[in-house]
Structure 1
């Protein structure tokens, strides 16, 4: 659909109608008419989208529809929330008291809906003067132009291959392997990463030409024509004659498939399918046209989508093309910008700006090639190069250029965006709000997307977060988003967006008036902004101006050291769904007016120096996520009034330690999945069985806490899977009882002085943090028969030697030893750790060496050494290093968001 924002808002309007039917029944017909009006408007957006570049009036026309669609959703949701407040869980007298207010609200929404319908009618009437037609579905002219720019051919091979040499040789070796069966070799990577360039290099290797007596190349693209693909391959396999061309034009699809099958049947062929976007495109060719008859034939496939490559051959991992490193980027840039050969130098006065241009390309070969080619035709002056650097985004995105190649760089990235379904376009644009080079927590992103309502239509209650995570996976699979960190069980923990794709998201968002980034102190905040990311605060406290924008999301980044209090007039933000003040230092507590932001679903106050939450937060009945944790810069305790039990929609409550003057009531929160930072006493005062969705629970204990009673109290909470016990003072009494928690599979102990006498019987994951241990814990821990994950982090005192016996850890797959300050030696007996897949040793300064027995563990796939001394690294056993498939040695990553 042409405009993902409008498409999504229309869908959500329908969702609201279903969800709030009890409260909307008196105006249901009016709401349905409004939705139908929006659906009709959407029919004309194809033509408008095609012609937005031609006429600013058409862009304004689309913007008017978008604003009306947003206003429709806001009107419905605000009204429904009012009526819900008037009628839900109220007695008869209270309902009678509020009845006049309900009648007034019905009258108000009726007027607003009619006003919106009049707006839409005027917008619809005005389209005629712009000549906008209903084109229906199909590829727009703009889309066809993008596809034309991406047509590839193996003839024009790029000689400047930097950073791909090793992979090219590996691909050639893979294609030449002795195997009679037809095999598929795939290259995947983001747009512009060099997949086609690499495939050309391999296709033209002398050994490849000698081995395969029959070769063909076809660019498939996202709008493939099956018959045209078949004709293209057949033409490359036969002498071109007038008779052949006429015959191919007359042939039907089945005839073409049969002809290609016969042409290839007795050949040792290599066919390159470049730029495959859909599984269906592969199936059309592979199942009917490519014979597998024992001739050692090969198919080389390139795609931006990992799932396409895996579908083509589920038994082999595709070759994943990463972005270039810093030095390879610089060498390629020099070749393209200066026209020199390998290892050519750069004029000293240009090196600093040249390296910054290369860095801005983010390791993307196409971007380096385009910018370098542009500079090659310019004067070699610092002024010219500075001008390109200062206008970097414009040079890569504009449709016309003096160099003629600029449009290709924009096209290759824009095609990936154009191929996204509406919901993924929405998600991708949202990522543009985050600052450049951000490492984004997937948990945080999921909570935001769910709060925004992106997942409402596709999934039932409690499955929204699963759908949101799947969308992160889809964006990563399509190489629109990069994985920054994975968990041990191969889930995406954090992600990042390539700088050029982020610029694409920002450009598209600006085109579609989707969001605004306040990046400098001089930026003016638009009165029409719906999504606003503040990357820099102005000196003027009244930075929203005289008119407050109708914001849905307000996010603050990198404003930690702002010297003035962040001033927000919350009663002006009644449409706000997301407020993220993460690490934005506030020098006063949250104003009580926060309770007037009734639609708020996500409130992040992490690291804000706020020490007390006002009672009015209890009015936020739609709130799903509340984060009041500290950071390393701030204190950890937040005082709350006894209102948590009112937050009936709450799913995730993150805190380090909540203080309340009375026992904190949390009973009845049936949607609550995560609860951290609650004190032992408050848990014991609540019937935890009423928290029917609770999966993760973090409890603060002290010397008065009776762990046995706590475990008995939690033993019937069947949904509970993860338990964290954090000690802030003293040693808890009666530490036994954990064996009563049969449902718990993950246990985290922080600030513990000794190991507990028992553990949950079905424990599979154990984390020990800030532990004070005198004896080696391994003899106890290795007896936990189902343990697959063990992490020991920061032991201030402890054993100098650890011994893992041959009888221990039969199921352990992941082991991390982190900052064990007195650990000198690890002994692993022969036969121990039979299932170990990953060993991570981090910041253990005194450790002499790794145990030699590790090289006999056949399952060990990954060895990670983080922040280890140089002497330790240089003394690694060569046989051990060669026996582990993946050895990773690196320093700690920078702080994550």
Structure 2
């Protein structure tokens, strides 16, 4: 609604046309700040805290939250850029902010969440994102009105059984991303939760990522199947003999729009063939682990818009079954194909806008036939160390705007240089051609555009 009235400006939409980031015009921003101050809706810690503002923003300090008689009307407190939190913070919150509904502690230097958090009985939103908290207190179970619990980037690895008291919880995100090492199947680390607990959270709509291993597979699978309101589910460390239990649970999730399943290790097999009735509303799917061949239920996903296959090691031509999906717009490969030749046939992938082919170490030939990929806008290729050249048919992809080449051999890159490359004619109509080369075990990347003098020096060392 705000976008339609030009009060919000869209910065970026994804390939599904979903709005991902917005901003407001500078004039609107100034107007909003003045109105918020005039109506006393938001207050900064830099001014005296009188407890009447509905929203309190505390920047680079804890402010004075100790005064008051317990009747502060503040509904939301947002902390930002904090270096130190006073020990009395949560005691003051529970005494003076009894009506608090939203508490945002993202990035706060917080290693322990005190038991006093359970006294904020009206709390509906709690963010501990990117904090150093390792354990949630048992009193967390008292927050019966909590709708959102955000633990992304925290150090929490296991959720206490007491969270079964969060009967109204709709959004639970609890995972970390390891950015210190090169991308692997364990880059995304989920949390452990008992099956008897997860089955009590029947109001959940988003749950990611949770560990699904053998020791709790029986009860966990049946309990997970009770979450019929789920629209987004992320599973990590799925062991092969737990696949059927997970499939049985997913078949009951008719509202599911997003699904990510990851095996324990890159060589472990994802046993997902037993699912005969997948959630037909599914739009986004990522499968991380060995498949051998694609599951037979994939062609039924007529609403699928995005798919990612990683470490799948598919060696047959079962990938062709995805070419007929009518809404597929984004397709990401990462060690997903183990063959020598990959062919996109005429009439396949008619809506696809982004294709990424990464880490295809045996690939020697990539063929794009006339009539295939007619809407492709972005092609990301590499590393593919044995691929000798870009496909001949690139000039016929009239919508192609971006070609990204990642860690491709220097001989491959030299072939498409404007000055000397025998294959330059294949890419000269593409507006944006980029080369990415990783250094230092993948910790650093350098990007070069076609025609960049630095690229020429890289490819022609003296």
1:768 aligns with 2:308: yes
User: What's the counterpart of residue 90 of structure 2?
Assistant: 568
Structure 2 residue matching 1:534: 3-state secondary structure:
strand
**In the alignment, structure 1 residue 582 sits paired with structure 2 residue 118:** no
2:97 matched to 1:557? no
Correspondence 1:783 to 2:307: no
How does the TM-score come out when normalised to structure 2?
Answer: 0.71
Q: Does 1:852 align with 2:392?
A: yes
Instruction: Tell me which residue corresponds to 1:329.
Output: none
User: Which residue does 2:195 correspond to in 1?
Assistant: 663
Uncovered stretches (5+) of structure 2, i.e. residues with no partner? 176-189, 437-444, 446-462
| Secondary structure of 1:626's aligned partner | strand
CA contact (8 A) 1:744 1:762 kept: no
Structure 2 residue 241 is matched with structure 1 residue 714: no
Question: What pairs up with 1:434-833 in 2 under 5 angstroms?
Answer: 471-474=1-4, 478=6, 480-499=7-26, 501-518=28-45, 524-537=48-61, 543-547=64-68, 549-559=72-82, 562=84, 567-569=89-91, 570-572=93-95, 573-588=97-112, 590-630=113-153, 635=155, 637-656=156-175, 657-660=190-193, 662-667=194-199, 669-680=201-212, 681=216, 684-688=220-224, 690-703=226-239, 705-729=241-265, 731-732=268-269, 734-743=271-280, 745-746=282-283, 748-749=285-286, 751-755=288-292, 757-758=294-295, 759-763=297-301, 764-768=304-308, 771-772=310-311, 779-784=317-322, 785-786=324-325, 788-792=328-332, 794-795=334-335, 803-806=342-345, 809-817=348-356, 820=359, 827-831=366-370, 833=372
**Aligned partners of 1:495 and 1:766: how far apart in 2?**
22
Aligned twin of 1:222? none
Counterpart of 2:186? none
- In the TM superposition, residue 529 of structure 1 has moved relative to its aligned partner by 2.9
Secondary structure at the counterpart of residue 60 of structure 2: coil
Q: How does 1:50-61 map onto structure 2 within 5 Å? A: none
Shift of 1:621: 2.2
Answer whether contact 1:621 1:649 (CA < 8 A) is retained. Answer: yes
SS at match of 1:621: coil
CA separation in 1, counterparts of 2:23 and 2:425? 35
User: Which is helix-richer, 1 or 2?
Assistant: 1
Pairwise CA distance, 1:854: 2.8
Which residues in structure 2 correspond to 1:222-621 (within 5 Å)?
471-474=1-4, 478=6, 480-499=7-26, 501-518=28-45, 524-537=48-61, 543-547=64-68, 549-559=72-82, 562=84, 567-569=89-91, 570-572=93-95, 573-588=97-112, 590-621=113-144
Residues 820-853 of structure 1 deviation map (CA, whole Å, 9 limit, x = unaligned): 4858876233235244343242775968764331
Structure whose alpha-carbon radius of gyration is higher: 1
CA distance in 2 between counterparts of 1:733 and 1:488 reads: 27
Query: Is the Cα contact below 8 Å between 2:292 and 2:314 reproduced in 1?
Result: no
SS at the partner of 2:78?
strand
Query: Residues 848 and 543 (structure 1 numbering): CA distance in 2 closer, same or farther, change over 3 Å?
Result: farther
Range that drifts further, 713-722 or 844-853: 844-853
Q: Distance in 2 between matches of 1:614 and 1:701?
A: 25
**What secondary structure, in the 3-state scheme, does the structure 2 residue paired with 1:716 have?**
coil
1:613 match: secondary structure: coil
User: In the alignment, what sits opposite 1:157?
Assistant: none
**Greater strand share, structure number:** 2
Contact persistence 1:486–1:494 (CA under 8 A): yes
1:812/1:833 contact within 8 Å kept: no
Contact 2:229 2:253 in 1 (8 A): no
Could you tell me how far apart the structure 2 residues matched to 1:843 and 1:593 are? 51
Question: What SS class does the counterpart of residue 723 from structure 1 fall into?
Answer: strand
Once the two structures are superposed, residues 461-507 of structure 1 have per-residue CA deviations (whole angstroms, 9 ceiling, x without a partner) of xxxxxxxxxx3533xx51x3332221102111112334554333323
Q: What SS does the aligned partner of 2:260 have? A: strand
CA distance in 1 between counterparts of 2:84 and 2:288 reads 34
* Structure 1 position 694, deviation (Å): 1.8
C-alpha offsets along residues 192-246 of structure 1, whole Å, 9 cap, x if unaligned? xxxxxxxxxxxxxxxxxxxxxxxxxxxxxxxxxxxxxxxxxxxxxxxxxxxxxxx
Report how far residue 866 of structure 1 moved: 8.4
CA–CA separation in structure 1 for the residues paired with 2:373 and 2:367: 11
Q: Is the 8 A contact 2:299 2:321 kept in 1?
A: no
Q: CA RMSD in A?
A: 3.9
> Is the 8 Å Cα contact of residues 852 and 880 (structure 1) preserved in structure 2?
no
Write the distance in 2 (CA, Å) between the matches of 1:600 and 1:822. Answer: 51
Q: How high is the TM-score relative to the length of structure 1?
A: 0.39
